[in-house]
Chains A and B, each alone.
Chain A
């Protein structure tokens, strides 16, 4: 069973460009989560999605950030008009549909965004 796959692992963008990060959950997992880790900090929850639905986006910045998890294909975290403060590691996690509060999240290896 392949784990959670994230790509690209490293992405460099100039200020004002767009960044797209992709996440393929583990087989059989229908819940996807995105977390952001700023330098020297812990991971912060951004958004929780199920297929074609955003369930909780309480951690998403109000502007420039969006996420989707289409019926087919990977989940996408999109950052428009990137700024230097967006430089961070973005982790995707997935879980099976019956996880509940048990917290069985399986993390990908992260995508590291650098904004020049």
Chain B
């Protein structure tokens, strides 16, 4: 069975600090995708990144960066120079193919990030 663990329930930082959100996953599939989503206080889910299991290159997008380590089954997310607008719950997720061509995402329990002035 697929499993995603986000051990950090809540993190508080001061604006401009860097912060890393941890994600560890379990799967028996050789082909899979990993995701990060942001859920701001308004409640919607905002897609941040998708990474496939064959691509271990780190990715950077502005202040966001992701570190995929297959050897440790981790897909960590770093926000550089955090801002108050980054305050949200962040979810890591793992995809699993389903019969019929669909797929199912298994989500972690989320990390609540609070960025204070």
A53 to B96, CA, bound (A): 20
B87 CB-CB contact with A under 8 Å: no
Chain A residues near B117: list those with CB within 8 A. Answer: none
> Which positions 71-116 of chain A face chain B at CB distance < 8 Å?
89, 91, 95, 97-107, 109-110, 112
A17 to B101, CA, bound (A): 35
Question: Count the A residues whose beta carbon is within 8 Å of the partner chain — how many?
Answer: 30
A107 near B99 (CB under 8 angstroms)?
Answer: no
B100 near A55 (CB under 8 angstroms)?
Answer: yes
Residue from B4, B35, B104 whose CB has the most chain A CB atoms within 10 Å: B104
B95 near A43 (CB under 8 angstroms)?
Answer: no
Chain A residues near B105: list those with CB within 8 A. Answer: 35, 43, 45, 103, 105
Q: Closest chain A residue to B43 by CB distance?
A: A110
Q: Closest chain B residue to A47 by CB distance?
A: B104
A41 near B109 (CB under 8 angstroms)?
Answer: yes
A97 near B52 (CB under 8 angstroms)?
Answer: no
Task: Say which residue of A31, A42, A104 sits within 8 Å of B50 (CB atoms).
Answer: A104
> Which positions 51-92 of chain B face chain A at CB distance < 8 Å?
52, 91
Expressed in whole angstroms, the minimum distance between the Cβ of A99 and any Cβ of chain B is: 6
Chain B residues near A100: list those with CB within 8 A. Answer: 97, 101, 103
B43 near A95 (CB under 8 angstroms)?
Answer: no
Mark contacts of B36-59 with chain A using CB atoms, 8 A cut-off: 1 yes-contact digit, 0 otherwise: 010000011101001010000000
A42 near B107 (CB under 8 angstroms)?
Answer: yes
Chain A residues near B43: list those with CB within 8 A. Answer: 89, 109-110, 112
A42 near B109 (CB under 8 angstroms)?
Answer: yes
Residue from B50, B99, B105, B109 whose CB has the most chain A CB atoms within 10 Å: B105
Chain B residues near A102: list those with CB within 8 A. Answer: 33, 50, 52, 95, 103
* B residues whose Cβ falls under 8 Å from a Cβ of A: 4, 6, 29, 31-33, 35, 37, 43-45, 47, 50, 52, 91, 93, 95-110
